[in-house]
Amino acid sequence: MQLRAVKNYEEMSILASSMLVEKVNKLERPVLGLATGSTPEGLYKQLIKQYEEKKVSFQHVKTFNLDEYVGLNKQDEQSYHYYMKDKLFRHVDIPEQHVHLPNGAATNLDEECKAYESRIKENGGIDVQILGIGLNGHIGFNEPGTSFSSRTHLVDLAPSTRQANARFFTSLEQVPEQAITMGIDTIMQSKEILLLVSGEKKAKAVARMVEGDITEEFPASILQKHPNVRVIGDEAALSLL
Ligand SMILES: O=P(O)(O)OC[C@H]1O[C@](O)(CO)[C@@H](O)[C@@H]1O
């Protein structure tokens, strides 16, 4: 695991964006794994800036998002489909058919999980996966206790995760109780992982991810075993290391 310390959220976003742009410009058919939440918002702003400055094009890029809530349709402003469209896709030249997120409104959710996993494989796997980390060590929506061998699957969200994400909804009751997420093994199959983390409240989680025991009780700890992980963290997030 390689650690890159930066000053603050903005520097984290700029560095992540320049790494990603370099990759996109280098690969013939880049496949990016994308994340939602507050952490990557600055990265997406920087990517849009680089696109507007003509430093990158997304025409040949394919994307797969980590997760999606169950029960929200794509137009729902709280859905991750909406988030991605709003924060990145509608601002750049990525073809709509290149964009993939699990369909949380599918009638057969288990089939949807299998189909999503197959689509990732058919596209040659993920070249660079962007990750954030939850306070309880979740990556994607893989909560503590998730098997390290899991593939894309349906999950019950931990009360602490629903609480943490309630800020995006009008009330806690509106936060869905389930989600579809890439599994831990799906994430581990990515050729490269770029984990972004900012702020003091994530410091304990980062320390446990980097130095703690590798255990299913703390999903992000498995990243110690991935051969190509870079963590870009600001001073506050890395303060306990
Ligand atoms: O970036 P945030 O909002 O702190 O969220 C951290 C993680 O939690 C999730 O939003 C899921 O709750 C992930 O997608 C994200 O990586």
Q: How many domains does the chain have?
A: 1
Positions marked active-site: 67, 136, 138, 143
**Which parts of the chain sit beneath pLDDT 70?**
none
User: What's the confidence (pLDDT) of residue 6?
Assistant: 98
In this predicted structure, what is the pLDDT of residue 40? 98
Residue 59: per-residue pLDDT: 98
In a domain, 206, yes or no: no
Through-space distance between the first and last CA atoms of the chain, rounded to whole angstroms:
13
Query: Going by CA atoms, what residue is nearest to atom 16 of ligand 1?
Result: 132
Examine residue 219 and state whether it is found in any structural domain, yes or no. Answer: no
Full residue range of the structural domain in which residue 167 is found: 2-196+224-232
Give the per-residue pLDDT at 52: 98
- 73, with CB counted inside 10 A (0-12, 13-18, 19+), is exposed
Say which residue the tokens 């599994």 belong to.
183
Specify the ligand 1 atom closest to the Cα of 66: 14
Closest residue by Cα to atom 15, ligand 1, is 132
Q: Which of 39, 83, 84 to mutate to test the pocket of ligand 1 (most atoms within 8 A of CB)?
A: 39
Enumerate residues lining ligand 1, CB below 6 A: 35-39, 66-67, 132, 134, 141, 161, 165
Query: Is residue 109 in some structural domain?
Result: yes
Cβ(36)–Cβ(67) below 8 Å = yes
Mutate to test the pocket of ligand 1, among 36, 78, 87 (most ligand atoms within 8 A of CB): 36
Within a domain: 214: no
Round to whole Å and give the CA distance between 10 and 65.
23
CATH number for 86: 3.40.50.1360
* Res 7: pLDDT: 98
Residue 213 located in a structural domain = no
| pLDDT for position 109 | 97
Please report the atom of ligand 1 found closest to the CA of residue 202. 4
